[in-house]
């Protein structure tokens, strides 16, 4: 009985780990697609807006990845750099969407 419980535990743990590993292995484009899909639903992006948002989001993901490589385990620097990248992204988003859409975005984040 203990072996069965242990086997189930290991199986569940392995599945959970593989799900996390898959999430971390997404390309910048895949991560951007997730963001765009979410924003399409939340603030009703048009196809033209979605394409522009994807472009700026890929750039954001690449910059965040670069920050992690640049600062290694220095969480304070990573957070500060990533906040700057995110603030820049929001500024770009604000120029792409309507004021109403941006307010809706702010209320859902």
Q: How confident is the prediction along the chain (109 residues), in pLDDT tens digits per residue?
A: 555 554 455 556 555 555 555 557 899 999 999 999 999 999 999 999 999 999 999 999 999 999 999 999 999 999 999 999 999 999 999 999 999 999 999 999 8
Domain total in the chain: 1
Q: Is residue 94 part of a domain?
A: yes
3-state SS class at 79 = helix
Distance CA(50)–CA(14), nearest Å, equals: 36
Domain containing 77: what range? Answer: 27-108
Please tell me the predicted confidence (pLDDT) of residue 109.
82
Would you tell me how many other CB atoms lie within 10 Å of the CB of residue 89?
Answer: 19
Please tell me the predicted confidence (pLDDT) of residue 2.
53
DSSP state of 25: T
DSSP state of 97: S
Q: Is residue 71 part of a domain?
A: yes
Distances 102 to 43, 61, 88, 97 between C-alpha atoms, Å = 8, 20, 14, 6
């Amino acid at each position: 009985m203990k072996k069965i419980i242990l086997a189930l535990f290991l199986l569940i743990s392995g599945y959970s780990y593989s799900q996390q590993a898959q999430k971390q292995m997404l390309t910048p484009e895949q991560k951007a697609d997730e963001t765009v899909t979410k924003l399409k639903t939340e603030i009703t992006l048009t196809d033209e807006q979605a394409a522009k948002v994807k472009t700026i989001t890929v750039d954001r993901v690449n910059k965040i990845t670069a920050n992690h490589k640049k600062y290694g385990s220095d969480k304070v620097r990573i957070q500060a750099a990533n906040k700057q990248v995110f603030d820049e992204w929001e500024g770009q988003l604000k120029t792409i969407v309507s004021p109403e859409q941006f307010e809706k975005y702010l209320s859902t984040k």
